[in-house]
Structure 1
Amino acid sequence: MRVLHAVMTLDPGGVERWLLEITRRLDPAVIRFDFAVATGEGGAYAEELSRLGSRIFFLRAGRDPFRLALRLRRVLREAGPYDAVHAHLHHVGGIVLAVAERAAIPLRIAHSHLDTSPIDRRGGPLRRLYRTSTRKMIDRHATHRIAVSAIAARSLYGPDWEQDPRVRILPCGLDFERFRALPSPDVPRRRLGLPLDALVFGTVGRLEEQKNHLFLLDVFALLRERRPEARLVLVGHGSFEARLRRRAAELGLGETVLFTGARSDVPEILAAMDVFLFPSLFEGLGLAPIEAQAAGLPCLLSEAVPAEVRVFPERTRVLPLDARLWADEALSLLDLPRLSPEAAVARIEESPFAMRRHLRDLLSIYGVASPDPIPRRAA
């Protein structure tokens, strides 16, 4: 079976990393993933996906829906036939699936990974027209609809999504093997240049407006007033980095904020932290706090993060975006003992985020009989 995934980019992000993890575990004799990338060339995951046997088509369409449609149609005509097209582009997925139906692709999947309602509410008449049109296209052309959470389903498929038999909630599966034997905090702290006796707060995510790092810097400034030994670790990269660095300097935080960039050793960096902070403005799910819980960390989340991510509700706090409240709660979470990697992973492997369970459910949507594809590692 051949599946073409339509994505915005192949740079590090929750959707992209999830797709890479899935591709690593597929037997290409049974099912193969290819990728149509809306943006230009490159992407941190492109090379490995190519080594794993995936074909990658860079459409160079940006956010131009007409260019996207024309170039996707050419890919389907010249590189097909495909058995399925799986769209991960939220509203733009309607255009992708319309092109796929015209190309006689039998399985056409819309996949909602985000709750964009905060953006949608701010939009004007053109945004509303665009949203209404693309929703109608999804309704007309999708054979299946998937969402990572109930709030993501509502965002893309509307308030009556539960009445549609085509809609299925399918949380992303993750690989927790690397969390089973994490080092003690001292090991990654030495490697990162952090004081061994520091109180380390941190987050993982693209440095973009959605992740709300500016608020996090305000919280951390309050934490530093009360605990001067505190450090903040920001894992990820993005267009907001220069702005965040300027803000950190304005707040006098200096070298107490560590920007690591995009990293492949996220589990080990999580092991260096004491508390995980995730103040997103909107989310469809949020894979980073799931991994933080697998690392045994207590988590502080914004109200925008779906409840489904709280695998350890007794170690998770949810607050409105008030910097003083966050600073108080972050310090109180330090009183919770760190869970051992073995205990954390054992519990999280029983959750819907376990990779084996997720693979079985995902393959059933594609109609692939094998519930246990041959595990693969990076090429």
Structure 2
Amino acid sequence: MRILHIITGLAAGGAEQQLRLLLRNMPAEYHCEVVTLENPGAVAEGIRQDGTPVTHLAMRGNRDIAALFKLTKFIRRGRFDIVHTHLYRSCVYGRLAARLAGIPTIVATEHSLLKDTIEGRSTTAGVRLLYTATERLGTCTVAVSSAVSDCLGNWGVPSRRIRQIANGIDAAAFATTPDEHAKSRREVRARLRIPADSFVIGGVGRLVPGKRFDVLVDALAAMPDVLPDGRVPWLLLVGAGQQLDALTRQAHDAQLAHRTLFLGERDDVSQLLTAMDVLAAPSIVETFGLSLLEGLAAGLPLVYTSGPSLAELPPHQTGHAYYSPSDGRSFASRLCTVAADCAPPLAPPPVVGMYDISQVADELTSLYTDLAARR
């Protein structure tokens, strides 16, 4: 079976990393290719290194109609059995191009839809109208969580066209023995020039308003300069985005620049997690929470505000995952408690195993087979 995945861009983000991980776990009989409409970033190179072809369409913007015909031609020439789209722009253009190319089965995964936002941006009546109109051109829309599924229903997508398949993680990629963890921790901290005895608060994700990383700068400012056990708090943020300058100014104005590191887009997140004492996620608009699961898989305690992957589970399944309101003082209080009570590496809680990527790949291939049989 020949499958074409279309995605808006391939910079380091949750949907992009999820696609790469999914491709790694597809059965050999599924031949996959990827088209990125724009921004073939670090994830594109990683997918190529994994052995999956990636084509950059070089789309010039939302109104680049020529890209639609270029994409249609590419799909038709590739004789794909299924087209699978990811993220808003690729869903709009990809579904239409696939229909024009005569593809019988068109699947979309909705990664980032909430009540009034999509991919962290506010929705307008026009965005909603275009999304729902082109959704009808597809065969099925996959929702990564019940929150996304509910939003699709509220937008008018019939329940018979929605299939819920959660995101997944490769837990083994984050697991370390205590000795391996300690060695990596020393090496990464030394490389980043973080004092070995610091208390490192980590954040992973795009530096965009919806992630609320400004809350972590406020939390660092609200914490004692030195914790009762003598450790000095640091903030380590991994990710790139439009808020980098604002966050840098915020840290400078709070006189915290010497204890705040912005590492940008990285492909060694599993190693960087070993340098952290806690993973902090103050976002209030998460549609799933992949980074939360990765932190737990790496043996870190977690302080978070929103995460559908955790929210409906009892505490014994989520382990050292602690809720906090998304404000600086609340996060500071919770982080101080974690500093006193939790020392990584911790045993990954049961929730990590519940979202194994191999299970997700099995569910998706079953969906492909089911949809193809209906043709």
User: Which category of TM-score, normalised to the shorter sequence, fits these structures?
Assistant: 0.7 to 0.9
Give the letter aligned to residue 358 of structure 1.
V
TM-score, reference length from structure 1: 0.85
Which residue number in structure 2 is paired with residue 354 of structure 1? Answer: 356
Cα 1:224–1:337 change in 2 (3 A) is closer
Q: Could you say if the C-alpha distance between residues 133 and 10 of structure 1 is closer, same or farther in structure 2, counting changes exceeding 3 Å?
A: closer
1:270 corresponds in structure 2 to 273
- Give the corresponding residue for 1:197: 197
Q: Is residue 171–residue 353 contact of structure 2 (8 Å, CA) maintained in 1?
A: no
What is the Cα deviation at residue 301 of structure 1? 1.2
| Equivalent position amino acid for 1:14 in 2 | G
Which residue, out of 279, 282, 294, partners 1:279? 282
**1:376 paired residue number:** none
Q: Deviations over 1:224-256 (max 9, x none)?
A: 456471001101122322222122111100220
The alignment status of 1:321 with 2:326, answered yes or no, reads yes
Contact persistence 1:38–1:62 (CA under 8 A): no
Identify the residue that residue 10 of structure 1 maps to in structure 2. 10
CA deviations over 1:52-96 (Å, ceiling 9, x no partner)? 14141324243226344233212223x321111111123751442
- The CA distance in 1 between the partners of 2:58 and 2:70, in whole Å, is 6
The TM-score with structure 2 as length reference comes to 0.86
| Separation in structure 2 between the aligned mates of residue 321 and residue 173 of structure 1, nearest angstrom | 25
1:136 Cα deviation after fit: 2.9
1:97 corresponding residue in structure 2: 95
- What displacement does 1:113 show? 0.5
Determine whether 1:143 maps to 2:143.
no
1:363 maps to 2:336: no
1:117, 1:92 → 2: CA distance?
A: 20
Aligned counterpart in structure 1 of residue 83 of structure 2, from 75, 82, 85: 85
| Separation of aligned partners in 2, 1:90 and 1:335 | 43
Q: Deviations over 1:201-241 (max 9, x none)?
A: 11111122221222221111112456471001101122322
Contact 1:90/1:113, CA 8 A, preserved across alignment: no
Alignment of 1:55-74 (within 5 A): 55-64=54-63, 66-74=65-73
| 1-structure distance, mates of 2:174, 2:86 | 28
Q: Distance in 2 between matches of 1:279 and 1:293?
A: 16
Shift, 1:7, TM fit: 0.9
Q: Which segment drifts farther, 187-196 or 11-20?
A: 187-196
Q: Assess, with a 3 A threshold, how the Cα gap between structure 1 residues 319 and 32 changes in structure 2: closer, same or farther.
A: same
Who is 1:133 aligned against? 130
Query: Post-superposition shift, 1:157?
Result: 4.2
Identity value in percent? 27
1:155-194 to 2 correspondence within 5 Å?
A: 155-158=151-154, 164-181=159-176, 182-184=180-182, 185-194=185-194
Of 313-322 and 236-245, more deviation after overlay is shown by 313-322
Q: Do 1:12 and 1:262's aligned partners in 2 also have CA atoms closer than 8 Å?
A: yes
- Alignment partners' CA distance in 1, 2:358 and 2:300: 23
- In structure 1, what is the Cα distance between the partners aligned to 2:188 and 2:358? 29
> For the aligned residues, what is the CA RMSD?
2.8
On the 8 A contact 1:76/1:103 being kept in 2, the answer is: yes
Deviations 1:313-351 (A, max 9, x none): 34222233222111111111223334646x317x35531
Report what 2:242 is aligned to. Answer: 239
Q: Deviation at 1:27?
A: 5.1
Once the two structures are TM-superposed, the CA of residue 193 in structure 1 deviates from its matched residue by: 1.6
What's the counterpart of residue 37 of structure 1?
36
Find the aligned partners of 1:246 and 1:349 in 2 and give their Cα distance: 36
Off by >6 Å, runs of 4+ in structure 1: none
Separation of aligned partners in 2, 1:108 and 1:143: 5
